[in-house]
Structure 1
Amino acid sequence: MIALKNCRWERSGEVLILMADQSRTIELDDPTGDVNALLAALREGTEDAASLTTRLREAGHDTDVATVRAAIEALDGLRVLERSETSIGRRPKDHRDYSNLAYFDLFSSLDVTAEGFRSALADAHVVQLGVGGLGSNVLQSLCGLGVGHLTLLDNDLVEPANFARQFVYREEQIGTPKVERAAQWARAFNPDIDVRTVSRWVDGPDGVSDLLDDADLVVSGIDQPNDIDLWVNEACTAAGVPWIRGGMFGTMVIYFSVDPGRTACYRCSRTASDQGVVRRLSNGLDRVNRGIGPAAALVGSLVAFEALRYLTGFTPPYAAGASVVLDTADGCRQTRTEWTRDPACPACARTPRAMAGTS
């Protein structure tokens, strides 16, 4: 049955103000009061446009099935309609995914349910490279979202310096492999998650490519060696698997993503930008990790949101083919810079989508 979501509205002159959520207010022209009557009828639920038309005509409104059907389509496009059997009111509030489903309700429609978004996450396989400052924070969000399959890669041991920003680890775990402790945390948090671990130092594209056979997405938080991002880019573009990179440097947090065959890739960004001097100077500096807990949590949540966009499509990926930088010393001011695709990029040329002529 078609029904109106949990909405409230009131008229202001010839305009009807509809609030579908505290974060969203919609204004609808309604000089005749027909929209008001339509919303009231939809709140009670209806089988289809024909039965709704009959009810409206019986109430004195001059309308027809085609007009009502068009109105239903318009309201559904505004994401204010649902199938009554999927209403949030039917879900137990102590359910593990209650708040996730409540969030997805904001983007559900008559064709796409909140449960559909959750199922997409449960079926998804994310390969996560690194479980350090970025990775451990992303891991917590992915597990909370209900991502069903995780492959975690890392080669480091837990050490005291981690505790400022990596909150899945404990004092008694110092000296043990991070990847195993991170997997232990994920399994304890939700035993239904399938977690695989790889203890490996990535020294080329082959160190990533053999993990991608059934992967839907790669999240990378590895910053060593210097060419690591090029290697991950090469492996992911060749496999046609989207990937997201996040990190921290100084007061800045940064993330970007690549959707192979659809956006510029990381190699394209390197070709288009003239930052040779900057890179040489940066590579010559001693590496000092200044990542604090709030910064790691911030970039981790931004990367997790980007992952959510890729895995569910609830909105398009924001950082696809672009870098997003936030300055934590300037009110987290955000700058987004879109990359230009290099038509001669050898990495893009190898993507399955490019070879299929759909890039």
Structure 2
Amino acid sequence: MLSDLEFERYRKQLNLPEWRKAQQMALKNASILVVGAGGLGCGALPFLAAAGVGSLTILDADVIELSNLARQVLYRTEDVGASKALKAAEALQALNPTIAIQGIAVNLTSENAATYVAQHDLIIDCTDNFKTRYLINDTCVEWRKPFIYGAIHAWEGQFAVFHPSGPSYRKLFPVEPSPQEIPACDEVGVLGVLPGIIGLLQAKEAIFYLAGFESPAQKSLMTFDLRDMRLSSFTL
């Protein structure tokens, strides 16, 4: 059930004709694992918490660096040196005290992936490396869990919803690229709004998926170019 406080908190979205108590309850009863609390995670997490996702678990072993702050807007200058996962959880709990949030300062590994993935309804890939992304995919395939992929490079980003009844990320990209083929943000650079936009779109896809709404990203790889604001889709 939704409390009076929750009805008031989510009143604006509950006023949508297509968004009723059933959709809000679907969010409240859902548990999401967000792997990565960097640029993509900082774009996705506030809107997942604000929308009323009942349980959020954040995995990230990194600490906050000064160079993160131009794009990772959950953190403050005084947070430099602190755990991303713990500080993100603290900020989100302040945003919405009615939901359960857990920040865990570890990375997803082959040893713990099954444990974390099995415990959640939906996984959101907010990582910045291919090794973890393929691990997320393979574990989700094994446990038949949906996951929402997001990635950025320079001025472009992409995202998609991979679900048990459709093709997997590994089917789309069978060969894991080397670090030399696709260099990291530290080498090519990134404008902070790009991971924010892609992370926000990942949050939107998570909300749509949990609420039972259809979306092009559930059947396509979506790509976004920041320079000309072009959003394209490629059917999976």
TM-score, structure 1 length as denominator?
A: 0.60
CA distance in 1, matches of 2:215, 2:81: 37
Return the match for 1:264 from 156, 167, 186. Answer: 167
CA apart distance, 1:267: 1.3
Asked if 1:307 corresponds to 2:195, the answer is no
CA apart distance, 1:188: 1.0
CA distance in 1, matches of 2:169, 2:74: 30
Matched-pair contact (CA < 8 Å) for 1:252–1:326:
yes
Return the match for 1:235 from 116, 139, 157. Answer: 139
- Distance change (3 Å), C-alpha of 1:317 and 1:217: farther
Give the total of aligned pairs. Answer: 230
CA apart distance, 1:292: 2.4
Asked if 1:222 corresponds to 2:135, the answer is no
In structure 1, stretches of 5+ residues that fail to align are 1-90, 109-113, 340-359
Counterpart in 2 of 1:288?
Answer: 185
Bigger radius of gyration: 1
Matched-pair contact (CA < 8 Å) for 2:47–2:203:
yes
CA distance in 2, matches of 1:153, 1:215: 13
Counterpart in 2 of 1:197?
Answer: 103
Say which SS state the counterpart of residue 95 (structure 1) adopts: helix
What is the root-mean-square deviation of aligned Cα atoms in Å?
2.1
Matched-pair contact (CA < 8 Å) for 1:264–1:321:
no
Say which SS state the counterpart of residue 172 (structure 1) adopts: helix
Counterpart in 1 of 2:77?
Answer: 171
Counterpart in 2 of 1:249?
Answer: 153
Q: Percent identity?
A: 26
Within a 5 Å distance, the mapping from 1:32-181 to structure 2 comes to: 95-103=8-16, 105=17, 107=18, 114-181=20-87
Return the match for 1:213 from 105, 118, 122. Answer: 118
CA apart distance, 1:179: 0.4
CA apart distance, 1:134: 0.5
1:272-325 Cα shifts (integer Å, max 9, x gaps): xxx88xx45x63454234332321221122111110111111x21422253110
The one-letter amino acid paired with 1:295 is: L
In structure 2, stretches of 5+ residues that fail to align are none
CA distance in 2, matches of 1:203, 1:122: 28
CA distance in 2, matches of 1:117, 1:269: 31
CA apart distance, 1:117: 0.8
The one-letter amino acid paired with 1:95 is: E
The one-letter amino acid paired with 1:287 is: A
- Distance change (3 Å), C-alpha of 1:125 and 1:328: same
- Runs of 4+ in structure 1 displaced over 4 angstroms? none
TM-score, structure 2 length as denominator?
A: 0.89
Matched-pair contact (CA < 8 Å) for 1:242–1:258:
yes
CA apart distance, 1:200: 1.6
